[in-house]
Amino acid sequence: MSEHTEHSESGIPVKHVIGFIASIVLTLVAAYTTVMSGLPVPWIIAIIMILAVIQAVLQLVMFMHIAEKNPIPQYGNILFGFFIAAVVIAGSIWVMSFGMHDMDMNGGSGGGSGEEHSEH
Amino acid sequence: MWDFIWNDFLVTGEPIIYGAMASIVLATVGIVFVLTYFKLWKWLWDEYLTTVDHKKIGIMYIIAALAMLFRGGVDALMMRTQLALPNMNFLNSVHYNEIFTTHGTVMILFMAMPFIIGLMNVAVPLQIGARDVAFPFLNAFSFWTFFFGAMLFNISFVIGGSPSAGWTSYVPMAGPELSPEINQNYYLLALQLSGIGTLATGINFLVTILRMRAPGMTLMKMPIFTWSALITSIIIIFAFPILTIALALMTLDRIFSTHFFTLAGEGMPMMWANLFWLWGHPEVYIVILPAFGVFSEVISTFARKQLFGYKAMVYAMCVIAGLSFIVWVHHFFTMGAGAGVNSLFSITTMLIAVPTGIKIFNWLGTMYKGRIRFNVPMLWALAFIPNFTIGGVTGVMLGMASADYQYHNTYFLIAHFHYVLIAGTLFGMFAGLTYWYPKMFGHKMNEKLGKISFWFTVIGFNITFLPQFFLGLMGMPRRTYTIEPEWMPLNLLSTTGAFILAAGFVIFTFNIYYSARYEPREKTGDAWDGRSLEWATTTPVPHYNFATIPYVNSHEAYWDMKETGATTYDESKLEPIHMPSYKGLPIIMSAIMFVASFGLVWHWFWLAIPGLLGIIICMVIRSFDFDEGYHVPIDEIKRTEEQARGRKE
C-alpha cells in the first residue's frame, strides 16, 4: 500500500534469490549428511545443528531484513520468538523423556516417582 | 476403472451418504443455474472472486464459516441422535468415528478460524484508519487457500471416505498401519493447505497493525479488538509453523513411509501428541482472544461507558499469549509423564485463570453503573460471562493433573470445552457479526428474530452441555457410539438440547434473509452510537475506507471526533488515494494447490507433481507482476463522499 516501501529498483530481488538458493543447498547438504554420508551419529547431529543455525541466520538476514534499520524495531517479537523456540525444543525433549531423565540423575530420590509412574 | 470408482473412489453403501451426494449435486446445479440465469458469473468474478478488498474478503470468510457451522452442526445432530438412546442403529461405529472427527476439525479449523479471521478482516483496518491490509494480494490468497482446504476436507465424505481418528488425529491410530486407507491423508493435506492461509493472515495482520495505523494512534490508543487481533496474529505466527511441521512429518510417514511417529523404526508416537498440542493449545487462545476483543467492544458500546481497565486488558492478553505456549502437556497428563512434568504444567494451566479472571472483572467493571442497552450483541456478551465462567472453572478442575486422571476423555471434558468454545468463541462471533453487520451490509439484523435466536441458542446450549458434565462424572467416555442404559435420561436431555440449539442457528440464518429483505437501510454509518473509528466511515463503506484519515488522540477515536464534530472527509486535505488492483491469481493458484493436494491424498504423483509445478509457475508470475495498483482521483472521492454524506441529511 502507500506506506509499503519498494525495496528493489531493479526487477530482480537479488538478495531473496540468493537466500532462497542458499537455503535449498544447505537443506540438501543436511539431508545428504544424514542419509548418505555414513558418519558417526554424534558427528551428524553436530553438522546438521551447525547447518540449521547457519540457515536460520541466513534467512533472518536475507528475508527478514534483520540487518536493516527498522523504524519500529521488533525486539519484543524477536525475544518472544527465541522464547518459543526454547520452549518447543527444550520442552519437547523434557516431556518426551517423560521427566525420567532427572530421576536417573538423582538416583534414589527418583525411585518413588518411578513407582508411582508404574501404577498407571 | 469403474470398479475403482465405485468401490474406492466414491463412498458407497450408506443411505445418508447417498443423500449427501444427491444434495451436493442438486446444490451445485442450483447455484450454477442461478448464476447463469441471472448472468452473474462476470459479476461474481469481478466483484468477489478476484477481490483484494478486506471488507469483501471478510464477508466471504464469514459466509464460509456459517456454511461450515451448518455442516459441523449437522454432524453434531447426527451424533446426538445416535447417542439419544441405548442400542441406536442410526450410525455404525465407523461412520460415527468419521462424524466426530469431521465435527471437531470442521468446527475448529473451518468454522471458528474463518469466523474470527473474517471479523478481523472486516473490522481491523477500519478501526485503525487504514485503507486496506498491508498485503492485499496475500490476504486474498489466504482466503482462497483456506477455502480450498475446507473444500478438500469436505469432499472426503463422498470421495474416498472421511478421516476417522479424531480431530487430534493421534498416532498410531492415524498412522499408516492402523489407517491404511487414504482417509487420514485428507486431514493432513486439508489442514496443511488452509494452514498456509492462516499463517499468511497472521503475518498480514501483524504488519498491518504495526505499520498502518492512523497518525497519533500509538499502540496504547488502539481499540481493544485491534489489540486482540494483534496478539492473535503473534500467536498464529509462532504456533502455526509447529502444526505445519507436525503435519508434514505425518504426511511423510503416511505417503513416503518414513518413521517419525511409528513405533517401528525408532519413531515416537507420543511426539505427535506433543507437537499437535504445542500448536493446539495456543490455537485455543487464537480462537478465544478475538472473541474477548469483540465482547470488550460490545460491552463498552452498549454500557455506554469507556472500557474499564483498558491497560489491564492489554496486559492480560499479553500474559495469556505467553502462557498459552507453556501449558500444552495438560492435554495428555495421562500419558504418564513423571510428577515433575505434570506438576509444572498443572501450575501453568491454573495460572492462566488469573489474567482471564482479570478480564472477567474488567467486563463487569465496564458494565457497573453503565446505562446498558439490551440489544442483541449485548445479550450475547451478557450470556458469555456466566457460561464462559462455568467453562473456565471446570477447566481449572481439569488442570489439576491428579484429578485429570478421573476426568480425562470423559464427557466432563466434552462439556468443558464446549462451554469454553461455544460460550466464548461462538457467542463472540455472533455478537461480533450482529454488531458489525450494519457496517458490512448497510442494515441491522432484525432485533426480534435476533432475540428469539439468542434465547433458543443459550437455552439449548445449556440443556445440551450441562448434563454432559454429570455424564462424564458417571463415567461416560467420549468418542463412544453406544451408551449404557443408565446414561439414557441425561443423554436424551442433551439430545433435546442439541435440537433446540440447532433451531437457534436456523433462526439466526433466517434472520439474515429476513433482515436483507425487510430491515430499514442504515444511513448514518454509526449504527450503535459507536466509539472507535470504524463507525466514522459512511455506510456503505467506500472501497478506500477513509477519504481523509483523522488524527487519533485516544483509544476511543470516534467518540472524540463526535465531540468536536470532525469527520473522515476533510475537503482541504484530499489527495489521490493509492489502492491495490484486483487479482485473479490468488484463486487460480489456490485451485492448483487443491489439485496438487488431492493428488497427494490419493498418492497420484502424476497429478501432484504437475500441480506443484503449477504452483511454482504461479509464484514466478506473481514475482514478475509489477502492477503497483492505481490512484483514486480526487474528483471521484468528492463525488463518492458527497453522495454518501448528502444522503445522511
- The Cα of A36 is separated from the nearest Cα of chain B by a number of Å equal to 16
| Dihedral pair phi/psi, residue A63, rounded to 5° | -105, -35
pLDDT score of A106 more than 50? no
Q: How far apart are CA B325 and CA B311, in angstroms?
A: 22
Neighbours of B503 (CB within 10 A): 15
Same-domain status, A45 and A80? no
HEC letters along B529-579: CCCCHHHHCCCCCCCCCCCCCCCCCCCCHHHHHHHHCCCCCCHHHCCCEEE
**Res. A97 pLDDT band, cuts 50 70 90:** confident
B129: chain A residues, CB-CB within 8 Å: none
Distances (CA, A) of B610 to B36, B79, B85, B620: 31, 40, 50, 15
Indicate the pTM of the whole model: 0.92
| Dihedral pair phi/psi, residue A40, rounded to 5° | -60, 150
A96: chain B residues, CB-CB within 8 Å: 268, 270-271, 274
Asked if the C-beta of A35 comes within 8 angstroms of chain B's C-beta atoms, the answer is no
Measure CB to CB from residue B325 to each of A1, A84, A114 and give the nearest one. A84
The per-residue DSSP string of B322-343 comes to HHTTS-GGGGGGGG---HHHHH
CB-based contacts of B159: which residues, under 8 Å, 6+ apart?
Answer: B9, B10, B11
Q: Which residue of A has its CA nearest to B323?
A: A84
A99 φ/ψ sector (left φ>0, alpha ψ -120 to 50, else beta):
left
pLDDT score of A41 more than 50? yes
pLDDT score of A1 more than 80? no
CA dihedral for B201, B285, A72, A55, sign (positive or negative): negative
Residue A10 is predicted with a pLDDT of 54
Tell me if B212 and A98 make a contact (CB, 8 A cut-off).
no
Same-domain status, A13 and A60? yes
Asked if the C-beta of A91 comes within 8 angstroms of chain B's C-beta atoms, the answer is yes
Q: Which residue of B has its CA nearest to A110?
A: B338
Same-domain status, A86 and A63? no
Percentages of chain B per state (helix, strand, coil), in multiples of 5:
70, 0, 25
**Res. A100 pLDDT band, cuts 50 70 90:** low
Do the beta carbons of residue B251 and residue B189 sit within 8 Å?
A: yes
Angle subtended at Cα B210 by Cα B208 and Cα B212, rounded to the nearest 5 degrees: 55
Tell me if A87 and B340 make a contact (CB, 8 A cut-off).
no
A1: chain B residues, CB-CB within 8 Å: 130-132, 134, 136, 212, 578, 580, 629
Same-domain status, A41 and A19? yes
Same-domain status, A14 and A53? yes
Note the ipTM here: 0.84
HEC letters along B512-528: HHHHHHHCCECCCCCCC
Distances (CA, A) of B633 to B317, B392, B528, B549, B564: 41, 53, 32, 16, 28
Closest residue by Cα to residue B272 from B282, B259, B283, B284: B259
Q: CB-based burial of residue A43 (10 Å sphere; 0-12 exposed, 13-18 middle, 19+ buried)?
A: exposed
Do the beta carbons of residue B537 and residue B486 sit within 8 Å?
A: no
First-to-last C-alpha distance (Å) of chain B: 68
Q: How far apart are CA B107 and CA B101, in angstroms?
A: 10
Residue ending a domain, among A53, A71, A89, is A71
Asked if the C-beta of A84 comes within 8 angstroms of chain B's C-beta atoms, the answer is yes
Neighbours of B483 (CB within 10 A): 20
State the cell numbers at B113.
478460524
Q: Which residue has the cell 476417522?
A: B164
Distances (CA, A) of B285 to B113, B158, B298, B637: 11, 33, 20, 40
**Res. A71 pLDDT band, cuts 50 70 90:** low
- The Cα of B498 is separated from the nearest Cα of chain A by a number of Å equal to 36
Q: How far apart are CA B613 and CA B387, in angstroms?
A: 50
First-to-last C-alpha distance (Å) of chain A: 58
Domain count, chain A: 2
Closest residue by Cα to residue B574 from B616, B554, B544: B544
Same-domain status, A19 and A32? yes
DSSP H or E stretch at residue B429: helix B427-441
Measure CB to CB from residue B339 to each of A77, A96, A116 and give the nearest one. A116
Same-domain status, A79 and A105? yes
Query: Which amino acid does the sequence have at B413?
Result: L
Same-domain status, A60 and A20? yes
Residue A11 is predicted with a pLDDT of 65
Same-domain status, A11 and A61? yes
Percentages of chain A per state (helix, strand, coil), in multiples of 5:
70, 0, 30
CA dihedral for B413, B415, B420, B421, sign (positive or negative): positive
Closest residue by Cα to residue B307 from B234, B220, B215, B423: B220
**Res. A73 pLDDT band, cuts 50 70 90:** low
Q: How far apart are CA B236 and CA B486, in angstroms?
A: 43
Residue ending a domain, among A51, A71, A91, is A71
Mark out chain B residues that contact chain A at CB-CB < 8 A. 130-132, 134, 136, 206, 210-212, 234, 238, 242, 268, 270-271, 274-275, 278, 322, 325-326, 328-329, 334-342, 405, 577-578, 580, 623-624, 626, 629
Same-domain status, A6 and A56? yes
The count of residues in chain A is 120
Q: Which residue has the cell 453434531?
A: B76
Tell me if A98 and B336 make a contact (CB, 8 A cut-off).
yes
| Per-run averaged pLDDT (10 residues), chain B, 649 residues | 79 80 86 88 91 95 95 95 92 92 96 96 95 94 96 91 93 90 94 95 95 92 95 95 96 92 88 95 95 96 93 95 94 89 93 93 94 95 96 93 92 96 96 95 95 97 96 94 94 96 96 94 88 90 91 89 85 89 94 96 94 94 87 91 71
Distances (CA, A) of B335 to A25, B270, B404, B525: 39, 8, 11, 54
Chains A, B: CB contacts within 8 A come to: 76
Q: Which residue of A has its CA nearest to B328?
A: A91
Tell me if A1 and B131 make a contact (CB, 8 A cut-off).
yes
- Domain residues for the domain of A23 are 1-71
Q: Which residue has the cell 473474517?
A: B118
Asked if the C-beta of A95 comes within 8 angstroms of chain B's C-beta atoms, the answer is yes
Q: Which residue of B has its CA nearest to A4?
A: B134
Q: How far apart are CA B397 and CA B432, in angstroms?
A: 30
Same-domain status, A62 and A86? no
- The Cα of A41 is separated from the nearest Cα of chain B by a number of Å equal to 15
Same-domain status, A83 and A116? yes
| 3-class secondary structure, A106 | helix
Q: How far apart are CA B24 and CA B288, in angstroms?
A: 32
A52-55 LR contacts (CB < 8 Å, sep 24+): A54/A26, A55/A22, A55/A23, A55/A26, A55/A27
| 3-class secondary structure, A73 | coil
| Dihedral pair phi/psi, residue B632, rounded to 5° | -80, 120
Measure CB to CB from residue A113 to each of B132, B210, B339 and give the nearest one. B339
